[in-house]
A and B are shown apart, each in its own frame.
Chain A
Amino acid sequence: GQQLNQSPQSMFIQEGEDVSMNCTSSSIFNTWLWYKQDPGEGPVLLIALYKAGELTSNGRLTAQFGITRKDSFLNISASIPSDVGIYFCAGRTGANSKLTFGKGITLSVRP
């Protein structure tokens, strides 16, 4: 099916450290999106990817669209306390397909 796998469920890092998250699927996707959700808020779009192999940055965030089109990666460099939140990957398999979300990774940053 179109399930997206994100693991681990939680990550704990020290302020200033870099962190990597990945999102995998058995299905091929043609769009990958990464969202961050703060408590009590809706998810906010961080980065969007549309081509296999594409590497896109947004400040300290960098995301890549995997060559196989079955995975994507998000890297956060030099983490800060406000990076705390839930990070979701989302993907679409076709132009008229729904956007499927992973279960998210909860990131904690220790000062």
Chain B
Amino acid sequence: EAGVTQSPTHLIKTRGQQATLRCSPISGHTSVYWYQQALGLGLQFLLWYDEGEERNRGNFPPRFSGRQFPNYSSELNVNALELEDSALYLCASSHRGLVNEKLFFGSGTQLSVL
């Protein structure tokens, strides 16, 4: 069974540009989570989608947005990129509704803003 897949693995952009990151969850998982991992800051929660709806949002500006498609894959969009947006962006999926819900992560997209 394939795990969570993310693309691209690396992305280089310049300040002010827009970035689009993609995530395919594990088959059968309906929830997708996005986390930002900047150096020294641990994993910061960005967004949570379930069944196509945004369920929760972290403390990030509106230029961080996303969506979940009918096949449960997801996109994270970052507009007006800033230097401090450089980080590893991790996507995780889970099978919502289970009492013992667990998150499974992809390998991430390393975004570098120059």
Give A contacts to B, CB under 8 Å: 31, 33, 35, 40-45, 48, 50, 88, 90, 95-104
Category for how many chain B residues contact A? 20 to 34
Other 9 A-B pairs with CB < 8 A, given A42-B90, A88-B42, A101-B35:
A35-B105, A43-B105, A88-B43, A96-B56, A98-B33, A101-B42, A102-B42, A103-B41, A103-B42
A-facing residues in B62-111 (Cβ within 8 Å): 90, 92, 99-108
Nearest-Cβ distance from residue B60 to partner chain A, whole angstroms: 13
Residue of A nearest to B108 (CB): A42
- CB neighbours (8 Å) of A101 from chain B are 35, 42-43, 45
Give B contacts to A, CB under 8 Å: 4, 33, 35, 40-43, 45, 48, 55-56, 58, 90, 92, 99-108
Inter-chain CA distance A30–B41, complex, in Å, is: 24
Inter-chain CA distance A42–B23, complex, in Å, is: 13
